[in-house]
Amino acid sequence: MDELMRRRVYGADHDDPDPGPRPGHVYVELVGGPLDGLLLDVTGWSAERLAAGAALGTELGRFGAGGRAVYGPVTADPERWAWEADSP
């Protein structure tokens, strides 16, 4: 858990002095693709929403500014979401 607490959360400002996870929140780790290693706050997400994954805005993917990186749950490890594709 200590390793998780030192990680950066997707969407945190680069100059945020504490870009890590917050107590009482639920996170999944993003694996692969442009957001590899970041944590995504999924606090309060329904089971259906969690099963659907997410298209997350990023300038680091194939489509640059305005593009999205698509991540979905890893069946064998619900605490990790794997990169599936980049989209415009």
Q: What percent of the chain has pLDDT over 70?
A: 93
Closest CA to 81 of 23, 37, 24, 48: 37
Q: What is the pLDDT of residues 74-86, one digit of tens each?
A: 999 989 999 999 9
CA distance 44 to 75: 20
pLDDT of 83: 97
The kind and range of the H/E element at 52 are: helix 47-52
The whole-chain average pLDDT of the chain stands at 90
Q: What is the pLDDT of residues 43-54, one digit of tens each?
A: 999 999 999 999
The ranges assigned to domains in the chain are: 2-87
